């Protein structure tokens, strides 16, 4: 079966959902859900994601060169969706979604308390496309809830990460399958 090229990306699913927190020059918090995200190197640790040039996320990173990736668990799926709404620039999506935040250790954007894993990042590189930009960030601090990181890896059954399939369709990662 041939798949229309505009739908080809749907064949690479499910993808983890993260809430990316940023701040602007004035320190105003922004949070945006993204599923176009991946690690690209482990030493040094670098992660990358794609966003539009119009997004507050992009503008804030251009201003401050910092962001935090917050792994979204199933239990905050409704709050994550609220953060996807197009609020005016300067509105704190975390407040609108009733999510808690705490200071990061090495960057200005905050970590989301309800997210079981957080990666504090500094801008390392960008790759500009016609409509979207891929942003690469060097991880400068990594955090996980005590139960979320077990035996040297993410504890999937505890975290239950929300994974994006398409549109408003999601699945939950809840168990490992060994080889």
Contact 56, 22 (CB under 8 A): yes
Q: Is 154 strand, coil or helix?
A: strand
Tokens 């942003």 belong to: 135
Specify the pLDDT at position 178: 80
* Six token digits for residue 110: 């905050």
**Would you say residue 4 lies in a domain?**
no
157 three-state secondary structure: helix
**What is the reported pLDDT for 139?**
99
Residue range(s) defining the domain that contains residue 135: 12-172
6 is a domain residue: no
What span, in angstroms and rounded, lies between the C-alpha atoms of 68 and 29?
11
- Residue 168 counted as domain residue: yes
DSSP E strands: which ranges in the chain? 15-16, 18-23, 29-34, 37-42, 45-52, 66-71, 101-102, 111-112, 117-128, 132-144, 149-150, 153-154, 162-166, 169-172
CATH number at residue 36: 2.30.110.10
DSSP E strand boundaries for 85-128: 101-102, 111-112, 117-128
The total of structural domains in the chain comes to 1
Residue 152, domain member (yes or no): yes
Residue 178 domain-assigned (yes or no): no
What is the pLDDT at residue 175? 75
Q: Return left, alpha or beta for 148; rule: phi > 0 is left, psi -120 to 50 is alpha, else beta.
A: alpha
Look up residue 101 and give its two tokens.
Answer: 């935040």
Point out the residues of the chain with pLDDT beneath 50: none
- The label of the residue with tokens 């239950």 reads 160
Q: How far apart are CA 166 and CA 164, in angstroms?
A: 6
- Residue 81 located in a structural domain: yes
In a domain, 39, yes or no: yes
- What does 21-33 look like in DSSP terms, one character per residue? EEE-TT--EEEEE
Per the domain annotation, does 157 fall within a domain? yes
């Amino acid at each position: 079966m041939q798949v229309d090229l505009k739908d080809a990306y749907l064949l690479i699913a499910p993808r983890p959902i993260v809430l990316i927190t940023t701040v602007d020059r004035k320190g105003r918090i922004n949070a945006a859900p993204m599923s176009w995200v991946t690690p690209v190197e482990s030493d040094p640790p670098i992660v990358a994601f794609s966003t539009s040039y119009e997004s507050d996320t992009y503008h804030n990173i251009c201003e401050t060169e910092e962001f935090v990736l917050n792994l979204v668990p199933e239990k905050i799926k409704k709050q994550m969706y609220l953060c996807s709404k197009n609020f005016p620039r300067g509105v704190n999506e975390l407040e609108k979604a009733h999510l808690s935040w705490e200071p990061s250790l090495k960057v200005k954007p905050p970590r989301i308390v309800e997210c079981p894993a957080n990666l504090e990042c500094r801008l390392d590189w960008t790759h500009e496309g016609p409509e979207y930009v891929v942003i690469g960030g060097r991880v400068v601090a990594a955090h996980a809830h005590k139960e979320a990181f077990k035996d040297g890896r993410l504890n999937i059954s505890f975290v239950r990460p929300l994974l994006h399939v398409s549109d408003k369709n999601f699945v939950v990662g809840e168990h490992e399958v060994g080889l």
